[in-house]
């Protein structure tokens, strides 16, 4: 019988790419998610019965233990950008990560891959960054041979970064920016998934790997490049930090007053803190080179999925070519 991998958060942005790759490796894939009925799209990643979504909440021991039954490898892709209700940063990214690692060790799982984030720091005033670091510590305490991945901003078809700002550029003449000078090192989701698969297959040494693409650019330059890809001219407007604090406070308050029924998907106070911190791979850190992976550049990938945001969508290049013919 083929081996089994359990992927926590396997229907999420990163998890679905890991699931697809593990299925191609011939493994049975168990996608552990809170809402399996919304994760049925993962089934065609393999042959009938090879990839199955199952109910799991990493805040619950019994739920996690059941998802781990019979697993040979585990990949934890669960993470949140906004704390809503019981799914807070501590519960999910710190305690949840430790729970997965502890129960995986008890179950005798051979390989564990934990997807963290670049910028994880136990002393950070950002709950996101602090709990990412606490989660890493809990994982290593319970499962010392774990592989921990720290990616920078991840881009790809379903990303919430370039897609978000491209959608904004399609509607608004101005793109407001906080932390315009902050440097990022965006990494392609396929490359992150490839790294995770190496860990799950036991083809990579344990330890922490910082994952960044070949391009290091400021937030302002990333937006400038995105606008070039979608062929739109928009004003990039850097705003002072105190304006961001006011906006974040307002939307955080609405979320709190409505008990999470209206979620803050605009800008949280915690997200604002991280917008002013560089997010690049540290010198000397283990990374893609140690895994034998050549990361993709943004320029080679962004046009493949941002074209719907162009003025004429898929016909934009054709129309531009036709204009040149008329001039000739």
For 163-184, the pLDDT digits (tens) are: 999 999 999 999 999 999 999 9
Contact criterion met (CB below 8 Å) for 185 and 213: yes
Start-to-end CA distance of the chain, whole Å, equals 65
Helical segments of 143-287, H only: 162-171, 189-200, 219-229, 241-257, 269-274
pLDDT at 324 over 80: no
Residue 317 banded pLDDT, cuts 50, 70, 90:
confident
Q: How confident is the model over 51-74, as pLDDT tens digits?
A: 999 999 999 999 999 999 999 999
CA-to-CA distance for 93 and 263, rounded, in angstroms?
Answer: 19
- Which residue from 51, 49, 50, 103 is spatially nearest to 76, judged by alpha carbons? 103
Average pLDDT value for residue range 142-155: 98
The radius of gyration of the chain's CA atoms, rounded to the nearest angstrom, is 21
Any residues with CB less than 8 A from the CB of 149 and at least 6 apart, and which?
113, 114, 115, 116, 192, 195, 196, 199, 209, 211
Domains of the chain: 4-155+185-214+280-295 (3.40.50.720)
* 113-126 per-position pLDDT tens digit: 999 999 999 999 99
Confidence class for position 133, pLDDT limits 50, 70, 90? very high
Helix axes of 127-142 and 97-106: crossing angle, nearest 10 degrees: 10
pLDDT exceeds 90 at position 162: yes
Residue pair 75/113 in contact (Cβ under 8 Å)? The answer is yes
What pLDDT does residue 1 have? 67
Half-sphere exposure of 162 (CA within 13 A, CB side): 32
Q: Which residue has the higher pLDDT, 73 or 84?
A: 73
In sequence order, the 6+-apart residues with CB closer than 8 A to the CB of 205 are: 147, 290
Closest CA to 152 of 109, 122, 195: 195
DSSP β-bridge partners for residue 51? 29
Task: Tell me what pLDDT residue 316 has.
Answer: 77
pLDDT at 153 over 90: yes
State residue 326's pLDDT score: 58
Q: Is the pLDDT of residue 272 over 90?
A: yes
**Confidence grade of residue 223 (pLDDT, cut at 50, 70, 90):** very high
Distance CA 33, CA 259 (A): 23
| Beta-strand relationship, 73-76 and 51-55 | unpaired
Closest CA to 139 of 53, 80, 79, 195: 79
Question: HSE-up of 60 (CA within 13 Å, CB side)?
Answer: 11
Looking at residue 319, what is its pLDDT?
Answer: 75
- pLDDT classification of 130: cutoffs 50, 70, 90: very high
Q: CA–CA separation, 165 vs 82, rounded Å? A: 18
Please tell me the distance from the alpha carbon of residue 136 to that of residue 263, in angstroms, as a whole number. Answer: 27
At 328, the pLDDT band (50, 70, 90 cuts) reads low
* Interval 290-308: pLDDT, tens: 999 999 999 999 999 999 9
Measured CA distances, 173 to 236, 255, 285 (Å): 9, 28, 40
Tokens of 28: 């049975």
The DSSP code for 123 is T
> Is the pLDDT confidence value at 13 over 60?
yes
């Amino acid at each position: 019988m083929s081996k089994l991998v359990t992927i926590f958060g396997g229907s999420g942005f990163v998890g679905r790419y890991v699931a697809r790759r593990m299925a191609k490796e011939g493994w049975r894939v168990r996608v552990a998610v809170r809402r399996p009925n919304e994760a049925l799209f993962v089934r065609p990643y393999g042959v009938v019965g090879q990839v199955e979504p199952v109910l799991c909440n990493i805040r619950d021991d019994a739920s996690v233990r059941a998802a781990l039954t019979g697993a040979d490898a585990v990949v934890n892709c669960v993470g949140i950008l906004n704390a809503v209700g019981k799914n807070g940063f501590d519960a999910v990214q710190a305690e949840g990560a430790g729970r997965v690692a502890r129960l995986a060790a008890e179950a005798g799982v051979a390989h564990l891959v934990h997807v963290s984030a670049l910028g994880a720091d136990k002393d950070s005033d950002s709950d996101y960054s602090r709990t990412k670091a606490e989660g890493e510590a809990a994982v290593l305490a319970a499962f010392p041979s774990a592989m921990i991945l720290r990616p920078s901003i991840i881009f790809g078809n379903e990303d919430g970064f370039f897609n978000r700002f491209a959608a904004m550029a399609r509607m608004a003449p101005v793109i407001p920016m906080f932390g315009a000078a902050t440097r990022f090192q965006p990494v392609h989701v396929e490359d992150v998934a490839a790294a995770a698969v190496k860990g799950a297959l036991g083809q990579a040494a344990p330890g922490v790997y910082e994952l960044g693409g070949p391009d290091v650019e400021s937030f302002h330059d990333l937006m400038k490049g995105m606008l070039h890809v979608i062929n739109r001219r928009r004003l990039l407007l850097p705003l002072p930090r105190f304006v961001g604090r006011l906006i974040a406070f307002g939307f955080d308050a609405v979320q709190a007053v409505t008990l999470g029924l209206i979620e803050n998907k605009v800008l949280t106070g915690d997200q604002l803190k991280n917008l002013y911190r560089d997010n690049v791979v540290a010198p000397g850190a283990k990374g893609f080179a140690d895994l034998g992976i050549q990361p993709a550049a943004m320029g080679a990938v962004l046009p493949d999925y941002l074209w719907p945001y162009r003025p004429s969508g898929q016909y934009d290049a054709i129309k531009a070519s036709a204009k040149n013919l008329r001039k000739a």
